Amino acid sequence: MRVGRPRRTPVAITGMGVVAPGGLGVKGFWELLTAGRTATREISLFDASGFRSRIAAECEFDPRQEGLSPREIRRMDRVAQFAVVCTRDALGDSGLDLAAVPPERIGVSIGSAVGCTMRLEEEYVVLSDGGREWLVDPAYAVPHAYDYMVPSTIAAETAGVCGAEGPVALISTGCTAGLDAVGHAVRLLQEGSADVMVAGAAEAPISPITSACFDAIKATSPDNDDPAGASRPFDLDRHGFVLGEGAAVLVLERLDDARRRSARVYAEIIGFASRSNAFHMTGLKPDGREMAEAIRAAMDLARIGPDDIGYINAHGSGTKQNDRHETAAFKRSLGARAYEVPVSSVKSMIGHSLGAIGSIEIAASALALEQQVVPPTANLHTPDPECDLDYVPLSARDHAMEVVLSVGSGFGGFQSAMLLAKGGTT
């Protein structure tokens, strides 16, 4: 612990673009969340018969309608399309005059856990003749096959949209990538490596191979008879997560810069930290120890204590182990305060979009702060005695709050925590 360090420069969220299941754009997204509506359905993106879990939260996304050219649509995997559309929306929303910012001072930090798997798999199926040929036929490879193999193209496409010539990176820490990518961007702004960061995350994992790999470890919900009710974080009858897709991209600036141009500030990012459990690639110990440590470290950086936290936007994936692990982490890091603070999981409504969800949840947290409304945990009818906090079941709640904690937990053992403060409070 290093005492006496100056408090880090706060960073402002000044623009936002969201593509999420159940409602496009920031407005549709927030309406869905505050209505407590669920967007989990039978999978339509591929024929999922024969799969254990046949449900997902899909985006009603038409790239043409979103203004992408036929060329862009041919070139980009769905995940890059999400990222690009969100970036355009976020830049427009920020009111930033990009022409007035030197391109060298614009950076990009995008998160994704599984990259361009949809196209990667589609290509494979063609080249291998439906999996029959190990020595795949190179003659039929599309020109952009390599773009799908390296996820960094998602960040590169994003950079193309905003004209970034500063630091550009794709962050791929599995299911914490969306938090970590924004955390990375905040760090770059604080150290002065960029003046504007376009940061967020995207994922389009609803494909046979990704579904099959979660089937194999029984991580996803098999409640195929009740798609709308299948994502049940913190409920006693939860049976795993429901796969989702989507993206959220934020425009970030140092708070001083945002104020100078009188930008709308959705929220300030005041702390971020990540830790790892070094325990198991998928397993979590029930004690929540490392996530608690990430939360403590983030509070430390933000110079706040448990009592300052007004809402916890939980990881809340709806797997048996996660929800217990996380509940323990909140108690461990916040003490008695854990019982007083509303906690909710938007995954109950929009599913778990792996690397993207962290950024989508930051967007939700920022909107919660701005609107002073806590989105609910849908489908929470039968509380799990082992999860005994206030999870805001079923309906959104008006709630006065200054600071929101958003956390994530992912394969690899990664645990991340971010703190956001209401715009204009620091």
Partner 1 sequence: MRQFTVDDLERLLRASGGGDEHMDFSEDILDEEFSELGYDSLAILEMSALIKREFGVELADEEVAELQTPRQAIDLVNQRAAEVPIT
Partner 2 sequence: MTGTVVVTGLGVIAPGGDDTEAFWRTLLAGRRSIGRIDRFAPDRYRTRLAGQVHGFHAKERVGSRVAVQTDLFTQFGLAASDMALADAGLDMAAVPEYERAVVVASSSGGTEFGQREIERLWRNGPDHVGAYQSIAWFYAATTGQVSIRHGMRGPCGVICAEQAGALDAVGQARRLIRDGARAALTGGTDASLCPYGLTAQLAAGRLYQGDDPARAYRPFAADTAGFVPGEGGAILVVEDAAAAAERGARQYGTVAGYAATFDPRPDSGREPGLRRAAELALADAGRAPGDVDVVFADAAGVRELDRIEAAALTALFEPYGVPVTAPKTMTGRLYAGGAALDLVSALLAVRDGVVPPTVGIGRPAADGRLDLVLDHPRRLAVRTVLVLARGFGGFNAAVVVTAPDAAHARAPQPSEGADHASIHRR
The contact pattern for partner 1, residues 236-275, with x = CB under 8 A and - = no contact, is: ----------------------------------------
From 116, 184, 352, 387, the catalytic residue = 352
CB-nearer residue toward partner 2: 168 or 405: 168
Which residue is catalytic, options 86, 175, 184, 387?
175
The rounded distance, in Å, linking the Cα atoms of 360 and 200 is 8
Q: Is 381 a catalytic residue?
A: no
State which H helix or E strand residue 191 sits in.
Answer: helix 177-191
**3-state secondary structure string across 195-242:** CEEEEEEEECCCCHHHHHHHHHCCCECCCCCCHHHCCCCCECCCCCEC
* 216 contacts partner 1 (rule: CB under 8 A): yes
Query: In 10 A of CB 205, how many CB atoms?
Result: 27
51 binds, among partner 1, partner 2, none (CB under 5 to 8 A by kind): partner 2
For residues 100 and 278, which CB has a smaller minimum distance to partner 1 in the complex? 278
Residue choice 99, 100, 278, 400 for contact with partner 2 (CB under 8 A): 278
Single out the segment in contact with partner 1 by CB under 8 A; choices: 22-30, 58-66, 73-81, 276-284.
276-284
Which one among 150, 281, 339, 340 touches partner 1, defined by CB under 8 A?
Answer: 281
Q: How far is the CB of 318 from partner 2 (least distance, A)?
A: 17
Closest CA to 14 of 123, 76, 94, 112: 94
- Cite the DSSP H helix spans in 282-356: 289-302, 320-334, 337-340, 347-350
In the numeric block, which tokens belong to residue 348? Answer: 């109950």
Q: Quick check: 135 binds partner 1 (CB under 8 A)?
A: no
Of 154 and 230, which CB lies nearer to partner 2 in the complex structure? 154
Check binding of 283 to partner 1 (CB under 8 A).
yes
Counting every residue written for the chain, the total comes to 426
What is the edge-to-edge ordering of all strands in the sheet holding 40-42?
40-42, 55-57, 243-244
The verdict on 113 binding partner 2 (CB under 8 A) reads yes
Site for partner 2 in 214-253 (CB under 8 A): 214-217, 219
Using CB under 8 A, count the residues that bind partner 2.
Answer: 88
Measured from the CB atom, the residue of 42 and 386 that comes closer to partner 2 is 42
Catalytic residue among 184, 239, 315, 325: 315
Burial class (CB in 10 A: 0-12, 13-18, 19+), 97: exposed
Tokens of residue 370, six digits: 């701005």
Establish if 217 lies at the interface with partner 1 (CB under 8 A).
Answer: yes
The token duo for 421 is: 């403060």
Binding site for partner 1 (CB under 8 A): 216-218, 222, 280-283
